[in-house]
């Protein structure tokens, strides 16, 4: 029998991007919170600028619970699923430790894809087989929470629309904001200036994207030093606004948050009335039961879904909160692949700089352009950014100009190491019938529990956006002077992704959604779900800020409605 | 598909065999195994007559084989030298000690590839003996290149998991070993970073640094030249520059 611990008000499973933010409004309101985290604490001494360790070796200092339960992947149900890698890590702060830290608000269109498409182009333009729904609320309802998170964690950027006032230096397509960003954008670089000038010649609207990275002294943290080891690396001066250095320490300071490290939650426990009573977890070989009035699930999308599917009980024989069969449905991996790679005649000066230091184009994203004569809806955010490292440079494409080893290859990489760039293109991705997460019938994690199985593929709408956005990206690179361009494939199976959405989708209709408009289960009143697993559309940009705004909102809702939720 | 271009020259001794004293084969002889064999072969006695070769011996004087056998190491060293040759454009994987890096990594992070190396290096050597009458590392460059091309094209029997996959594994690891932080035993004396004109680890990169681009002078700094990241900060002797690897 697991050792029963004293009861707490709220248990949060996972102290990452979502749980790390949710803890702050709860503890500020005086609720006692226990955060259970599979990883441990890392400090800036662990964040060496070491490409091999961070990139190729996947940062061994982080506890790779996630790696031990990596999902299996197949494009459709006729195939056998194969296990690959897991894109996330485990630590206090989760993947906000080593992410690129791009911190976008979604475009207002992303909240109402169905109705906006129907109104502008006709209902028949919703892609066949898509299960997409409008969100249960619009951008305006999330706006105050975006703002709270931007200030609480610290986001740098250039606003393009403050209270309706358009500023062409920022994103002119963004939804209306109530305030400027708390910090100015990260600095430009010779390469971002090259790309900005090219975009302006094309009459596009380039702007510097928002980042959870300090551009100036903020909240006691120094500004970014631009040394360039953000990607799969932590920040040596804490300029990256990871929850481990922002909201989590603040929540601990209230005296109301205890973080339990190196603990694996194995089961969400339910009583005979269908309410959750707490969680079982393993720490080393010891088993514990942590009782709580409310459980908030804040692992990554795959683990949120898997834990629900594994937590079977008399009240929920097919998995917790799954009596309507919606857990694992409406899954999507963000289409962020299909990059375009360019070769320039001159050095780009990209040995220093970071992935979030870049220039964005939103002219071809969301519904920012007329789709009347196109065969898809949505679009892509084009991102040209700095970030070059020696091993990555040596493994670059040779654009058909050299073989891939020997003297001619060596000469090629010597001449071109700092002359190539790979664009990051994030595309609108929709949920479809036949794309889902379930438990793999064969592959198990080291504890003997089945891993998640991803059955999903991109469909025509996504591959058409990919082709369209590659055209635009190529045009942009060529305008900037690129002499060679490589386009990669348009997309097939949806592999395990750093941007995984759905599986516990949010919506008013309990027949098609797992959680309600506040993030609480339709079936289990005291169970909340945080993370991109509640999101029904991806937008054309990184999800983290939206995940954090939703988490803050769910926490405030819990504080305001404690009695009715706890019952 | 290796370049048909000659890297540098063995023209005076075009024949495969132990008497090949071309520049690169001298270097080969002075590799990981050469140290152990020092003074025992005619080849190394010749090598010692050149101050250049003595420098190389000094450079690698504290290398041990942690995983590979002496035969395997010689074969691997030669493969790394084909992939990133030492040529008229400067040092390559040999000077970077990529093979030394790979040997160490097979004891740690790359453990799962250990069997692939054992089986494939043996298969390549056997194929070399069968088709060219000599061990792979004894062959002249062109013959090594053609055998490695055959590995890449999956035409050398017995490689594991197969020729082309093994080729990709060893290519990736050779790149890692040539361009990684010198802490890991490769990229010795920063030859890999210099090859790419990578200016080195800076904890802070100013706008002026970035503006200089290719004109910025490489600083030859490892991540672990910075006290913050060195595990034994109190041990001042640990904070020496670059080259030497830690166990």
User: Model confidence over B142-187: pLDDT tens digits?
Assistant: 999 999 999 999 999 999 999 999 999 999 999 999 999 999 999 9
Judge: B181–A52 Cβ closer than 8 Å, yes or no: yes
Q: Is the dihedral of CA B205, B208, B211, B216 positive or negative?
A: negative
b/e per residue, A215-248, with b = 16+ CB within 10 A? beebbebebbbbbbbbbbbbbbbbbbbbbbbbbb
Q: Does A390 contact chain B (CB < 8 Å)?
A: yes
Residue B11 lies in a domain: no
Q: Which pLDDT tens digit goes with each residue over A26-42?
A: 999 999 999 999 999 99
Q: Which residues of A touch B184 (CB under 8 A)?
A: 52
Residue B228 lies in a domain: yes
The pLDDT value given to residue A448: 97
Residue B7 lies in a domain: no
Residue A393 pLDDT > 70:
yes
Residue B37 lies in a domain: no
Residue A196 pLDDT > 80:
yes
| Pair of tokens at residue A341 | 């790679």
Residue A333 pLDDT > 90:
yes
Residue B187 lies in a domain: yes
Residue A338 pLDDT > 70:
yes
**CB burial class (10 A; 0-12, 13-18, 19+) of residue B66?**
middle
Question: Taking a C-beta distance cutoff of 8 angstroms, is the pair A412, A402 a contact?
Answer: yes
Per the structure, the count of domains in chain B is 1
The rounded mean pLDDT for chain B is 79
Residue B57 lies in a domain: no
Eight-state DSSP code of residue A293: E
Q: Which pLDDT tens digit goes with each residue over A197-236?
A: 999 999 999 999 999 999 999 999 999 999 999 988 999 9
Smallest CA–CA separation between A402 and chain B, in Å? Answer: 9
pLDDT: is A89 or A172 the higher one? Answer: A172
Calpha distance A185→A191 (Å, rounded)? 16
Residue B150 lies in a domain: yes
Judge: B179–A189 Cβ closer than 8 Å, yes or no: no
The pLDDT value given to residue B10: 34
The pLDDT value given to residue A56: 82
* Range B14-43 average pLDDT: 46
Test the B interface: residue of A44, A47, A394, A395 with most B CBs within 10 Å: A394
* Range B213-225 average pLDDT: 94
| Cα-based distances in Å from A529 to A245, A511, A560 | 23, 17, 17
Task: Give the pLDDT band of residue B62 (cuts 50, 70, 90).
Answer: confident
Question: Taking a C-beta distance cutoff of 8 angstroms, is the pair A390, A414 a contact?
Answer: no
Which residue reads 């991007």 in tokens? A17
Judge: A391–B198 Cβ closer than 8 Å, yes or no: no
Smallest CA–CA separation between B232 and chain A, in Å? Answer: 12
Q: Which residues of B touch A394 (CB under 8 A)?
A: 175, 178-179, 192, 196
Calpha distance A165→A177 (Å, rounded)? 9
**Percent of chain A residues topping a pLDDT of 90:** 94
The rounded mean pLDDT for chain A is 96
Q: Which pLDDT tens digit goes with each residue over B95-136?
A: 999 999 999 999 999 999 999 999 999 999 999 999 999 999
Residue B14 lies in a domain: no
Judge: A349–B179 Cβ closer than 8 Å, yes or no: no
Judge: A227–B179 Cβ closer than 8 Å, yes or no: no
Judge: B203–A225 Cβ closer than 8 Å, yes or no: yes
Q: Identify the CA nearest to A105 among candidates A551, A429, A540.
A: A540
Residue B77 pLDDT > 50:
yes
Calpha distance A465→A460 (Å, rounded)? 8
Give the number of other CB atoms < 10 A from CB of residue A563. Answer: 7
Of B3, B205, B216, the CB nearest to A407: B3
Nearest residue in A to B186, CA atom = A52
Report pTM: 0.91
Task: Give the pLDDT band of residue B35 (cuts 50, 70, 90).
Answer: very low
The pLDDT value given to residue B61: 62
Q: Does A225 contact chain B (CB < 8 Å)?
A: yes
The pLDDT value given to residue B9: 35
Domain residues for the domain of B107 are 64-239
Calpha distance A390→B197 (Å, rounded)? 9
């Amino acid at each position: 029998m697991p050792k029963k611990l004293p009861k707490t008000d709220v248990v949060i499973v996972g102290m990452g991007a979502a749980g790390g933010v949710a803890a702050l409004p709860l503890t500020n309101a005086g609720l006692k919170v226990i955060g259970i985290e599979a990883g441990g604490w890392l400090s800036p001494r662990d964040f060496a600028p070491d490409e091999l360790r961070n990139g190729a070796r996947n940062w061994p200092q982080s506890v790779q619970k996630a790696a031990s339960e990596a999902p299996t992947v197949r494009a459709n149900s006729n195939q056998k699923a194969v296990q690959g890698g897991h894109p996330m890590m485990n630590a206090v702060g989760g993947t906000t430790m080593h992410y690129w830290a791009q911190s976008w608000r979604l475009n207002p269109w992303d909240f109402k894809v169905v109705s906006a498409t129907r109104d502008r182009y006709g209902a028949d333009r919703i892609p066949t087989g898509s299960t997409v729904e409008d969100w249960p609320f619009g951008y305006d309802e999330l706006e105050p929470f975006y703002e709270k998170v931007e200030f609480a964690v610290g986001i740098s950027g250039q606003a393009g629309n403050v209270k309706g006032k358009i500023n062409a230096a920022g994103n002119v397509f963004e939804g209306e904001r109530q305030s400027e960003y708390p910090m100015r954008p990260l600095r430009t670089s010779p390469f971002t200036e090259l790309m900005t000038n090219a975009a302006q010649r094309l009459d596009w609207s380039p702007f510097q994207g928002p980042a959870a990275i300090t551009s100036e002294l903020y909240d006691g943290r120094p500004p970014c030093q631009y040394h360039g080891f953000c990607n799969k690396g932590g920040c040596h001066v804490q300029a990256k606004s990871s929850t481990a250095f922002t909201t989590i320490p603040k929540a601990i300071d209230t005296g109301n948050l205890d973080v339990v490290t190196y603990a694996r939650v194995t089961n969400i426990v339910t009583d005979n009335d269908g309410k959750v009573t707490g969680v079982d977890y393993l720490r080393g070989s010891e088993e514990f039961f942590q009782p709580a009035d409310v459980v908030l699930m804040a692992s990554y999308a795959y683990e949120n879904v898997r834990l629900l599917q594994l937590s079977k009980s008399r009240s929920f024989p097919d998995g917790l909160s799954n009596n309507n069969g919606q857990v694992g449905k409406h899954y999507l991996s963000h289409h962020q692949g299909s990059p375009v790679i360019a070769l320039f005649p001159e050095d780009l000066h990209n040995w220093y700089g970071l992935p979030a230091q870049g220039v964005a184009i939103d002219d071809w994203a969301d519904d920012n352009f007329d789709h009347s004569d196109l065969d898809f809806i949505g679009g892509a955010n084009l991102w040209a950014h700095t970030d070059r490292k020696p091993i990555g440079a040596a493994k670059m494409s040779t654009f058909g100009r050299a073989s891939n080893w020997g003297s001619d290859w060596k000469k090629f990489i010597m001449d071109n190491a700092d002359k190539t760039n790979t664009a990051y293109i994030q595309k609108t991705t929709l949920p479809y019938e036949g794309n889902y997460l379930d438990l793999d019938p064969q592959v198990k994690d080291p504890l003997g529990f089945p891993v998640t199985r991803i059955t999903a593929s991109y469909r025509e709408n996504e591959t058409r956006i990919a082709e369209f956005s590659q055209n635009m990206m190529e045009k942009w690179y060529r305008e900037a002077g690129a002499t060679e361009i490589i386009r990669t494939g348009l997309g097939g199976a949806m592999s395990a992704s750093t941007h995984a959405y759905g599986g516990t989708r949010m919506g008013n209709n309990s027949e098609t959604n797992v959680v309600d408009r506040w993030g609480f289960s339709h079936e289990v009143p005291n169970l909340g779900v945080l993370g991109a697993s509640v999101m029904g559309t991806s937008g054309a940009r990184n999800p983290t800020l939206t995940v954090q705004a939703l988490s803050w909102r769910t926490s405030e809702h819990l504080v305001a409605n404690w009695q009715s939720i706890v019952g | 598909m290796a370049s048909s271009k000659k890297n540098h020259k063995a023209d005076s001794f075009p024949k495969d065999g132990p008497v090949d004293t071309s520049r690169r084969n001298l270097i080969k002889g002075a590799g990981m195994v050469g140290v152990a064999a020092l003074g025992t072969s005619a080849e190394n006695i010749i090598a010692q007559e050149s101050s250049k070769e003595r420098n190389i011996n000094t450079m690698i004087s504290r290398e041990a084989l942690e995983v590979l056998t002496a035969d395997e190491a010689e074969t691997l060293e030669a493969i790394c030298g084909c992939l990133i040759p030492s040529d008229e454009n400067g040092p390559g994987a040999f000077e970077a000690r990529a093979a030394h890096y790979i040997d160490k990594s097979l004891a740690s992070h790359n453990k799962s590839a250990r069997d692939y190396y054992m089986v494939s290096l043996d298969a390549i050597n056997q194929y070399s003996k069968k088709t060219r009458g000599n061990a792979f590392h004894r062959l002249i460059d062109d013959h090594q290149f053609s055998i490695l091309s055959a590995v890449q094209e999956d035409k050398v029997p017995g490689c594991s998991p197969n020729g082309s996959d093994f080729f990709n594994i060893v290519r990736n690891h050779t790149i890692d070993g040539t361009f990684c932080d010198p802490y890991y035993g490769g990229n010795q004396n920063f030859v890999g970073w210099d090859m790419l004109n990578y200016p080195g680890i800076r904890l802070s990169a100013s706008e002026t640094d970035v503006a200089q681009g290719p004109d910025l002078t490489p600083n030859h700094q490892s991540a672990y030249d910075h006290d913050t990241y060195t595990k034994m900060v109190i041990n001042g002797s640990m904070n020496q520059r670059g080259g030497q690897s830690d166990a």
